[in-house]
Amino acid sequence: MSAARLASASAATAHQRQWFADLHQEVAAGGDLALVNADAPQEIFRAMGIPYVVNQWWSSIVTAKRRAQDYLGLLRERGYPDDSEQYSSIPLASAFDPDPANAPWGGLPRPTIVLTETTGDASRKIFDIWDTQPGVSFYPLESAAENDVPARWWELMPRDWERAVGSDRLDLMTGELEGLIRFLEQTTGRVFSETRFAEVMDLVNEQQEWNRRTRDLIARARPCPLPVNDSIPSVMIPQWHRGTTWARDAARAFHDEVAERVSTGAAVCPEERARLMWIGRGLWFDLDFYRRFEQSHGAVFVWSMYLAIAADGYLRYGGDPLRALAARFAAFSDQLYTPPWSAEWYVKEARHHGVDGVVHLVSEDARGSYFTTRALEAAGIPVLELHADNVDARSADGDALTRTVGDWLDRRVRAGD
């Protein structure tokens, strides 16, 4: 049987729409709102009851609604680059939107606090510009790097995170978080309760344990029981609400739905002949892309980083809760983008899911792709590098991308059929 859209995906999307509508009202009534980067320690905001919007989530909404080019144009009009960190910069243009009422989902309410780590060369600049907007305060967090790291981080992170991340980075990030808490106490008048924070941290671990079980179910299932573009909202919308009982329960509902599908033999593509992994950010301007090769090639995307990093990247047990939170974020992007961590992890996940090939989205930015592609090929897994930006459709010809993947499937993945 062919799989219908996941109920958990529809429920998550409906929840998000209602939450965002409520948020509009709260902010209109004078409430605080934070805009935070995806790899920032959102748990502190959760514990203090400060609502937040995730910068990259808003970017994905703008892009999916085909407004990314309008927003990049607003940056260009003000003399800012339109070809630098678009995934992070598109939401900034919301501040310049002359017609916010007609923006996607009613537009991004004006934040009062913006937060990012000082990663890359441009991230903090984007938030510097937010800082010049009336009523907006920017709190930058350091982003540190380690000279030497143990390669198999996913085995260490849940309980031996001190060794995986390194004490210097944790000392720094814990200090940074203490500073952030004091900043938020002073700017919002809200209280940081250690008791409440411990509850939030426990809920996050429970949620990610469900995600881990779901990831493992999908890895073992043949055929693949759900489309990857359904799994993204099912895991990511609750991810942005982590630390709440709703998010924990949504992750469990997602798991139970996948388990049910596995038990009934549901299939995305009943004629599944090739299992594919998508490495890179979501292709927000063309989410249907993921399903374009099912009929033509029997090729199904069974993996994206969103569920996998939820399964492996967030769990932190033991120790002081604030230091554990520091351990969640001090090296978060290293897990995805820095060798040897990234390269070894993608190989582990490719084997775990039994993939026949990997499509690797490579944007024209600093993160590079060589070591991940090299490691996968060395493990005997064919890799296709697709060069495009995940939110800026100017960089990609959709038909050409489709042809490229189709040709590659014929030539390398299914050549031996």
Partner 1 sequence: MSAALARLTSHGTDRRAAADEFRARHHGGVIGYVGADVPVEYITAAGLLPLRLSGTPGAPSAAGDRCLGTGLDPAARSVLTRLLDGDFGPLDGVVVSRDCEASLRLFYALRELRRVDPALALPPVHLVDVLHLPHRTTTRYVRAKLGQLRATVETWAGRSIGDSALADAITAHDRLRELLTGAAALRRSHPARLTGTQALTVVAATTALPVDRATALLEALLTEADQLPEHEGLRVFLTGSPHDTDHVYTALEDSGLLVVGEDHDWGDLLFLRRTAAPTEAALAERYQYNGPAAPRASIRARAAHTRRAARECGAQALVSYARIRDDAPGWDYPAQREATGLPSVRLSRQPYGALGDEAAEALAALAGPLRVPAEPAR
Residues in touch with partner 1 (CB under 8 A): 78-81, 84-85, 118, 120-122, 124-126, 128-129, 131, 140, 142-147, 168-169, 171-172, 175-176, 179, 338-340, 343, 362-371, 374-375
Beta bridge partners of 117: 141
Question: How far apart are CB 187 and partner 1 at their closest, in Å?
Answer: 17
> Read out DSSP for 147-205?
S---S-HHHHTTT-HHHHH-HHHHHHHHHHHHHHHHHHHHHH-----HHHHHHHHHHHH
Token pair of 176 as six digits: 């940074």
Of 121 and 397, CB closest to partner 1: 121
State the CB neighbour count (10 A cutoff) for residue 348.
Answer: 16
To the nearest whole angstrom, how small is the minimum distance from the Cβ of residue 25 to partner 1? 33
Task: Report how far residue 299's alpha carbon sits from residue 288's, in angstroms, rounded to the nearest whole number.
Answer: 14
- State in angstroms the smallest separation of the CB of 59 from partner 1: 17
As measured in angstroms, the least distance from the Cβ of 19 to partner 1 is: 32
Closer residue to partner 1 (CB): 26 or 77: 77
313 CB-near residues (< 8 Å, 6+ apart): 154, 157, 328, 332, 335, 336
| Nearest one of 315, 40, 327, 39 to 166, comparing CA atoms | 327
The two three-digit tokens of residue 155, written as one number: 């085995």
Query: What is the closest distance, in whole angstroms, from the C-beta atom of residue 394 to partner 1 in the complex?
Result: 14
Is the CB of 315 or the CB of 326 nearer to partner 1? Answer: 326
Round to whole Å and give the CA distance between 351 and 291: 22
Complex with partner 1: residue 70 or 142, whichever CB lies closer: 142
Name the nearest CA neighbour of 348 among 160, 205, 153. 153
Q: Does the CA dihedral 210-350-59-157 come out positive or negative?
A: positive
Name the minimum Å distance from CB 262 to partner 1.
36
CB of 201 to partner 1, least distance (A): 21
Name the minimum Å distance from CB 85 to partner 1: 7
Instruction: Considering the complex, state which of residue 339 and residue 382 has its C-beta at the smaller distance from partner 1.
Output: 339
Beta carbons of 90 and 68 less than 8 angstroms apart: yes
Is-contact 225 261, C-beta < 8 A?
A: yes
Q: Which C-beta is closer to partner 1: that of 76 or that of 403?
A: 76
Nearer to partner 1, 224 or 327 (CB): 327
Q: Which helix (H) or strand (E) holds 80?
A: none
Dihedral sign of CA atoms 386, 392, 394, 400 in order: positive
C-alpha–C-alpha distance, residues 177 and 223, integer Å: 44
Q: Which residue is listed with tokens 């590659």?
A: 408
> Which of residues 145 and 191 has its CB atom nearest to partner 1 in the complex?
145
- Residue 68 or 362 with smaller CB distance to partner 1: 362
Rounded to a whole number of angstroms, the distance between the first and last alpha carbons of the chain is: 23
Least CB distance to partner 1 at residue 143 (A): 8
